[in-house]
Structures are given as C-alpha cells and as structure tokens.
Amino acid sequence: MRVKRYVVDSMPDALQKIRNDLGKDAVIINTKEVRTGGFLGMFTKKKIEVIAAMDQAASGPSGKPADPPSSSRQSAQPQASLSAVATTAKPLVAAAYGAQAGHAPQAVQPAMTQASREEKLSLAFPEVPDVFPETPAPAASPLPIAPFQRSQAAGMIRAKEDMLLDEIKQMKDMMLKLSLRQGEVEEQHPSLQRYERRLLEQEVDPLLVDELMAVAAEEAVREEAELTEEFVRHSLEKQLLAILAGDGVKSIAADTRIAHFVGPTGVGKTTTIAKLAAEQVLKHQRKVGFITSDTYRIAAVEQLKTYGTILNVPLEVVFSPLDLNRAFENLKDCDLIFMDTAGRNFRNEMYVSELNALLRSGGKSETFLVLSLTTKYKDIKAITSNFNKFKLDKVLFTKLDETDSYGAIPNIIREFGLQPSYVANGQSVPDDIRVLQEKQIIDLILEDREP
C-alpha cells in the first residue's frame, strides 16, 4: 500500500494531486485543518492536510495505476482488500506523517472534521468509481466517522479558534502595559514627563505616581485622544479627587460626644483643639468641654486652660485612665468634649499603648490623628502605621502654610484608608483651620509654581 500526505489550500486541489499521483483507485484516509507560517503563533494560514492511500495490488508492475478490475474480480476480492486497508492504514499513515513532518510518528487525527467535506468530495470528483461496490455502505469507507465524532471535532476547532483570539487580545493588552512601564509613551509625550516629575517633587509615592501615569496614558489610548498637558492634568485631577474625597463626613459629626486627638510631639494638637472648639461654640452653639492628659509638657495645661477661659469652656485634667470617670462625670452636661492627649514617641509601643487606654468614653466618639506636613513622609508613614494599630477614624493635617510639599496627603489617605477631615494653615485661633478641600490640595500638588 502506498500512502502520501498532502497539505493544500482546498479539497479540489487535493483531489487533483491524489488522482495524478495515486490514480483514481486511491482512498482518502484522513483529513484535518492545520496552520502554517506566521510569527509567534500569529498570522498563520489555514491549510488542509489530506492523507491518501492506494493498494499496490491495484497498481501495475511499473507502479502506475492499473486498469479498473473486472466485475468478477471485484466480487471475489472486496472483503480482502477492505480488510487490508483497515488493518494497515493507521500505522502507514502514522509513519508517512512522521517521515514528512520530520518527527516521530504520532497518532492519526480523526478523519473528516466536517460532514460537508464528504459532499465536496463527491461533487468535485464524481468520476471516481466505488472501489468496493458490493460492500455494504457502513463498511465501504475506511475509518468511518460517526456523526457525533464530526460534531465533536468541529466543536474542538471552534474552541481552539476562540482560545487563539483570547490569547491575541491578552497579548495586545500585555504589550500596551509593557510599553507604558518601559516609558515608551512617556518618551513620546513630554506632558507625562512633566507631571510625573511634578508629582515626585511633591513626594507622592513613586508607586502611586506610576499608577496615575499609566491610567492617564490608558485613557488616552482608549479615548483615542492626544496626550496634551490639559488631558493629562484632567485625568490626574479625577484620580486624585477619587482618593481625597473619602466616603464619610469630614468634619466632626453632629452626634459625636467625645473627640480624641492623638499624634506625635510638636504637631499642634492643643492649638488645633482650640480652633475646633471655637468653631463649635461660635458657629454651632454647642456646649463644649476640655479634657487634657498632657501633664508631661511644661505649661501644656495652662495653654489649654487659657483657651478655655476665653471661650468659657470647662477643663478637666486627668493623670491616669482612672481619672477619666471623674472627668466625664464633671462634664456630663457638655454636648461635645475635646480630649487633648500628650504627644508620644511613636516608636515606643508602650507609650502608644498607654495612650490607647485613655481613648475610651461613655458615648459616640471619634479619634483624629494629627499629622504635620513639615514631617518627612517616611516618618509620617511610620507614625500612622503605629497609631493605626488602635482605633483611628480621621486624619487631620497641620502646618499647611509651612511647607511646599503636599504629596503626603494622598499617600496616607490611600494607603491607610483614613477619612480626611481638616487642614490647619496657621496659628490664628479660630480662623486658620478648615475642612479639607480636595480641589485646593490637588491644585497645590499639580501646579508648578516657579520660584
């Protein structure tokens, strides 16, 4: 038996080659779709692989096809020829496939992946006579394929095509992200470089900067817009606004009874309390009281007592957590109590734990972490990390007027998930404090002010 493998564009091409090479008595053993050419698995072309065979007994001594057998020989030998084809086709096809493909023989794929190909074969090659006319139809075709096998093979092909399309899409997305990370877009668009440099100068976390720049570039690609400075700024404003907005009330809530203020030394907790107490008394007409545990700093109690005298606000001093019950009892008629705590070394966990023992109350309370913007961001991050082990609700920033770097604000809010509240920008009581305005902070971060 002679077995040959053909890779063609269409079945008519295959039939013509089979007829020329093997004669009209040849039998098609197997067909399947293959992909050739391309680069890295893409841009390949669909081809059809056809395996054909011819029984050498039907050939003459020269190897060319002999004349069609007589009816008497057909009636005497069909079953034997069919048996020979059926028993020898599979190993011969496997050997031929391996020899022509340049690798070890493999299992033959299921023949005829689509039922319509049989109809194409009969229409394109009608003159080929039936090799075994007296054999029943189910046994006449070597390696017959059941309908459910054809359906299963077609489904597998469609699944592979869908998988290939998904892989191409994923590759495109990956290439876009890689190009953004490697700076290809930034090199082409100086506006991205300008804002990236500005954000880094503002001490915005480099990881956050990369994320902001990548989103801006992806928006430009998605919207097919030019990466102008105006477009980049608009994208950065939207992203920073989402970070700074928070999802709660920034000011002291109307039903809050105890407002604790904690933080490291020298951030301005006492002055901040005086500003907020004045706002509550003068603007909201609430009855306010003071509690201070800052008995370590010289004149700390006297400073808060002076503010209390001006505002007509009572003051209670506690030296330990045991004194809290007495202080709360004396201030039970107050609508809102401000509690000033001593500044603690944030690196000493024992001090911070002692402070946490003071943060208890008999009603709804809020704890404000007070941070100074003149502190290095590395230290601000460490301070927040240590105090965040306990109950923190909001973050308040002071000394806005004493710095030109504002990147710590979005960094802390984003990383620790704290609700922004107030910003203080001076020593004047009660004027120099206000609820954080996102637009103002964003402008301070993005505007490039020349000296």
Give 55's pLDDT tier (boundaries 50, 70, 90).
confident
- Cα(first)–Cα(last) distance of the chain, in Å? 92
The answer to whether residue 176 is domain-embedded is no
Same domain, yes or no, for 216 and 273?
no
Q: Are residues 108 and 218 in the same domain?
A: no
Find tokens 């201030």 and name the residue: 331
Does residue 174 form part of some domain?
no
Same domain, 237 and 296: no
Is 235 part of any domain?
A: yes
Whether 137 and 38 map to the same domain: the answer is yes
Number of domains in the chain: 3
The first and second tokens of residue 38, run together, are 């391309």
Higher pLDDT, 346 or 242: 242
**347-381 pLDDT, tens digit each:** 666 666 666 666 666 568 888 999 999 999 999 99
Specify the higher pLDDT residue, 355 or 252. 252
Same domain, 360 and 391: yes
What was the pLDDT predicted at 400? Answer: 93
Flag whether 24 is in a domain: yes
Instruction: Give residue-wise pLDDT tens across range 405-443.
Output: 999 999 999 999 899 999 999 888 888 899 999 999 999
Does 128 have pLDDT greater than 50?
A: no
Report residue 157 as tokens: 């092909």
Segments forming the whole domain that contains residue 328: 258-446
pLDDT for 127 equals 46
> Does 294 share its domain with 436?
yes
User: Which CATH number fits the domain that encloses residue 430?
Assistant: 3.40.50.300
Q: Is it true that the peptide bond before 314 is cis, omega within 30 degrees of 0?
A: no
